[in-house]
Amino acid sequence: MTQTICISNQKGGVGKTTTAVNLAAALAVSGKKTLLVDCDPQANATTAMGIDKPKLACSLYHGLIQAKTAPEIIIPTNVENMDILPANTDLIGFEVEMMASRGREEVLKRLLSGIKQNYDFLLLDCPPSLSLLTLNALTAADSVLIPLQSEFFALEGLGQLLATIKRVKLSLNQSLKIKGILLTMFDRRTNLARQVVEDAETHFKEMIFKTRIPRNVKLGEAPSFGMPVIAYDPSSLGAKSYLDLAKELLQR
């Protein structure tokens, strides 16, 4: 049964796109047919997979305005078992054009409904805001994975996201669940990182993934080469961490 997971946090710089790209690749390497959906107008996930955004004939935007179907937009990646539904800056226009439309929160869900059966996992990379695009992703998803930076102020703002998830569950997607909270940019050498882990585990208990994503140079370098870290340097700590996360996710 297909799982659609929205990767969301309204704070920027917490590792959403890094997690979306590398978890999708790790699941694909684990033998799961995976689709990465770039729901962010910045389209960093598209860039991270080595796709030249200006040369895209069509993107998620064209699917959302019903100019193209999902199969017409989806392209294969350089990772076996992994496809991408790419984005570019055209996506900025979606929120303006759809603001007054009835059912505007369910456009992405309708777009993906016809292709879900082709995949084991759909991973939706969200923009760093609680926007109409994020609402669409939350409405289309079965669950939410929340990256949480292991730094000061990490827990601040998380309550707002959880409140939004609760509202979406009440009004748009009754089956929406929280898949888990993922601690990113973790540096076990610092007292601050350990304190954030303790605070998160105290407040959220079993919602916290056991896997921690470390600060890792290779994770930062891989997007500039247009590939996930598993392809760029499979022996790196970053690659091993996302493979561990995929394994933990499959066990859940």
> Which residues, in sequence order, are CB contacts of 120 under 8 Å at separation 6+?
2, 3, 27, 32, 33, 34
For residue 233, which phi and psi values (nearest 5 degrees)?
Answer: -150, 85
What pLDDT is recorded for position 63?
Answer: 96
Provide the phi-psi class of 237: left if phi over 0, else alpha when psi is between -120 and 50, else beta. alpha
pLDDT digits (tens, 9 = 90+) for 142-186: 999 999 887 766 677 787 888 889 999 999 999 999 999 999 988
Q: What is the pTM of this model?
A: 0.93
For residue 111, which phi and psi values (nearest 5 degrees)?
Answer: -65, -40
- Give the long-range contacts of residues 161-165, CB within 8 A, separation 24 or more: 161/8, 161/9, 161/10, 161/130, 164/10, 164/130, 164/138, 165/138
Other Cβ atoms closer than 10 A to 103 = 10
Average pLDDT over residues 225-236: 96
What pLDDT is recorded for position 152?
Answer: 64
Cα–Cα dist 239/252, whole Å = 20
Strand 82-85 to 3-7 pairing: unpaired
According to DSSP, residue 177 is labeled: E
In CATH terms, 3-251 corresponds, of 3.40.50.280, 3.90.550.10, 3.30.565.10, 3.40.50.300, to 3.40.50.300
Residue 162 CA to its chain's centroid (Å): 16
- The residue among 24, 19, 22, 18 whose CA lies nearest residue 4 is 24
Confidence class for position 102, pLDDT limits 50, 70, 90: confident
> Given a cut of 70, is residue 75 above it in pLDDT?
yes
Specify whether the CB–CB gap between 141 and 124 falls below 8 A: yes
Query: Which position has the token pair 């973790």?
Result: 186
